[in-house]
Structure 1
């Protein structure tokens, strides 16, 4: 793949100032890059196939450019670990992957690539990167801002609501009770049943006694 083909494939999906760098990573150790449908359980994927000389990386098509870049380099780090280490005893997001991810991301941790509101939590995240940006609430929150197209309505993250707040989710009304690490204990108004809901959930804030707007 030429750099021009790479640019045509990924223009608009990556920040402009990251295109050349990501192409250089690909050229150094080529892989097949597939732009995948949206998947609720993962943003990207790398799976090693010993019967294939060229390995595959897939990235969801609907990620904003900053999330796409982080996810792409996350998966390239997996690719490099499988290239450089004996695969036996290597944990998917163990120290080898963390080291590779930090090294590959370092040139991108710059204001010419990421806006400041993402760059600050991203730099902190990269000190000891988690298996997913979703595991870092503050980074997830800043990245989420860039998912919205102009004029599109945006919900509120459940983790940002105060206890006692009423909200709508999947055509049901809940009250937020308390946060328990990565999940929030909530009570469904109609049944009184309690549920643990991810604090990353995007919800609709409701005034007391208000009906759902859908």
Structure 2
């Protein structure tokens, strides 16, 4: 009896391995990034401008069914944007001053998503839908184009990286079209929306005493890729 059960388990595992399929590829993702800003009315943090960025990286689709895949990879992603705020502290002026700050961030991200594929909607062409999230680590940052920042209110210089926390996380939804070129080669194109879940800001609260400031990343990306 035990031998029979073991044989069945081994047979099931072999069948699962045979039916599973892994597709690996590369993608390039030009995107529009911006920051969702929020704060008490006294400081009035708000988004002013978006930022055009370019990212991309490795895509890995692990199929656990004919039309279902767990999708991950390793992406290099640019984020950020321009914000404005009311600064009540000034080294030269006692009156509140409205300031702008351009933020450029670069992350190394790992997506954790599920892709759902339709049957062929045209010859060798499928539509896919993607849902899940991503986790990332900050690997580069600039403020107003520089790696160091001199606060105009206090004249104190800090590294741009000291203004933001290291981890980030986002919800991800997307859709696109995948076309089979050959036996194992596919191309795809789609749109994805990445909504930041984590407040990445730590400078204004910690160093400037401006409480309850929230900055969260947002990104709309055009995903263009090739799977082998």
Normalising by the smaller structure, the TM-score range is: under 0.3
Instruction: Determine which structure has more spread, i.e. the larger CA radius of gyration.
Output: 2
Higher relative contact order (CA 8 A, sep 6+): 2
Superposition TM-score, scaled by structure 1 size? 0.21
Query: Which structure shows the bigger proportion of residues in helix conformation?
Result: 1
